[in-house]
Amino acid sequence: MEASHYVGRFAPSPSGPLHIGSLLTALTSYLDAKAHDGIWLVRMEDIDPPRQVLHADQAILQSLHAHGLHHDGDILFQSSRLSFYQQTIDALLNSNHAYRCRCTRAEIKQQGGIYLGTCKHKHITNQPSAIRYINPDLITSFTDRFQGQISATDNSIDKEDIIIQRKDGLVAYNLAVVLDDIAQGVTDIVRGCDLLPTTLAQLNIWSHFSASLPRYGHTPLLVKAPGHKLSKQNHAPAINDTLAKDNILFCLNLLNIQLSDTVQKSAITTILKAATMAWRKGIHFPKHEIIVT
């Protein structure tokens, strides 16, 4: 694996402490960055107050530190960029690249589950509404580093106009994540397969602001049973920071990274260096899901 200009990131939302699945995602993005002699950033995606848990951001940062996953540079909190997001949304509206939409989820479901551009030409003004970016649908496929060729289907939500601001006024994830990745110079995005369905939408937004597109790699999810991922919403237990080395070794085993007994008995820093070297030689983990008990 050749060294190159590489900026990666781990971007958790403070909706609860890290669980083993989110630690696995953090570890894979960290190892990939270090295997490329790159930069590994941490960004806190704290723009959804109803879902946030008090002090979860600090608990997440403490857990990363306890597990030897030390970030490069300053931590970016998305909440510090709300005015920039709003300026961008207003500019997209003013340039006719976005429009207001008052369709409800129930109405879209009645239309077959795919938004058909119902509000595109309605010129909605003084009514509660979401804002949608007009999807140019210029990017219809990409090659994922771990999942291979990913393409939109004829009836895919990838072709929908993309919500960039919710009806409650909160900035939508798909816009904020793209703007921040561009601002931070992110070149490589390594994240869980649960976010794979959002990627084409994000690439189409990205192409509006920058011609330099990132590389994506979607890693397997930890699941209790096929299709049932470990998540904060499913009450996955928080990782125990006092068992950090055991947690890291557990994740490495899931990724099929085998280390010698001597290395496994060493400090976390030594384990992570050895794991980075193993990653650099090539990874062979399951594609989509890993079942844990």
Q: How far apart are CA 96 and CA 73, in angstroms?
A: 36
Sorted by sequence, the CB contacts under 8 Å of residue 119 that are 6+ apart come out as 99, 100, 101, 102, 103, 129, 132
Cα distance between residue 46 and residue 79, in whole Å: 6
Q: Looking at the structure, tell me whether residues 114 and 149 fall in a common domain.
A: yes
- Per-residue burial over 113-122, b = 16 or more CB atoms within 10 Å of its CB, e = otherwise: eebebebeee
Single out the residue in 154, 173, 192 at which a domain terminates. 173
Of 173, 198, 217, which residue is a domain's last? 173
Shared domain for 69 and 190, answered yes or no, is yes
Same domain, 156 and 121: yes
Each residue's pLDDT expressed in tens, for the chain with a length of 293 residues: 344 599 999 999 999 999 999 999 999 999 999 999 999 999 999 999 999 999 999 999 999 999 999 999 999 999 999 999 999 999 999 999 999 999 999 999 888 888 989 999 888 887 889 999 999 999 999 999 999 999 987 667 788 999 999 999 999 999 999 999 999 999 999 999 999 999 999 999 999 999 999 999 999 998 876 666 665 555 578 999 999 999 999 999 999 999 999 999 999 999 999 999 999 998 888 888 888 76
- Look at residue 56 and tell me if it is in a domain: yes
Same domain, 186 and 287: yes
Quick check: helix, strand or coil at residue 98? strand
Query: Whole domain around residue 229: which residue ranges?
Result: 7-79+182-291
- Asked if 201 and 284 sit in the same domain, the reply is yes
Total structural domains in the chain? 2
Same domain flag for 20 and 149: no
